[in-house]
Amino acid sequence: MTTHFRLIFTTCANENEARLLAQHLVKEKLAACVNILPTIESIYMWEGEVTQAKESKLLIKTKSEKMNEVIQTIKKLHSYEVPEIQVVDVATGNLAYFNWMDEVLN
């Protein structure tokens, strides 16, 4: 079974920013659901230095046709100069959940 759904990952500077972005995406029907992992620790290179930060991770569930608008919304509302945006194709899963997503995102 091939689906027309995407899972988009992003990180936010804190839980408040993550919550605001998630609420906006759901309210605007760009995402059916957004999970917030409130505290993760990230270690990454930034401007030539190893950086360590506490962040919040978002798991955004959406349809393929809404993906570009989700990406543009993240870029517009995000506090980071270069926000993480990774998109994963959803190959298969619970058909009842996908039906629910279709209803919510129409």
Which residues, at least 6 apart from 62, have a Cβ–Cβ distance to it below 8 Å?
Answer: 5, 6, 8, 25, 30, 31, 32, 70, 105
If one compares 30 and 106, the residue with the highest pLDDT of the two is: 30
Mean pLDDT of 85-106: 95
Q: What pLDDT, on the 0 to 100 scale, is given for residue 2?
A: 66
Q: Strand 49-63 relative to strand 86-89: parallel, antiparallel, unpaired?
A: unpaired
What does the longest C-alpha to C-alpha distance in the chain come to? 47
Q: What pLDDT, on the 0 to 100 scale, is given for residue 93?
A: 94
Q: What pLDDT, on the 0 to 100 scale, is given for residue 3?
A: 80
Please check whether residue 73 is in contact with residue 25, taking contact to mean a CB–CB distance below 8 angstroms. Answer: yes
> Which of the 8 DSSP states describes residue 28?
T
Mean pLDDT of 6-19: 98
pTM of the model: 0.94
Q: Is the dihedral of CA 102, 1, 93, 70 positive or negative?
A: negative
- The architecture CATH gives domain 5-104: 2-Layer Sandwich (3.30)
If one compares 61 and 1, the residue with the highest pLDDT of the two is: 61
**pLDDT tens digit string along 32-78?**
999 999 999 999 999 999 999 999 999 999 999 999 999 999 999 99
| DSSP H or E run through 64 | none
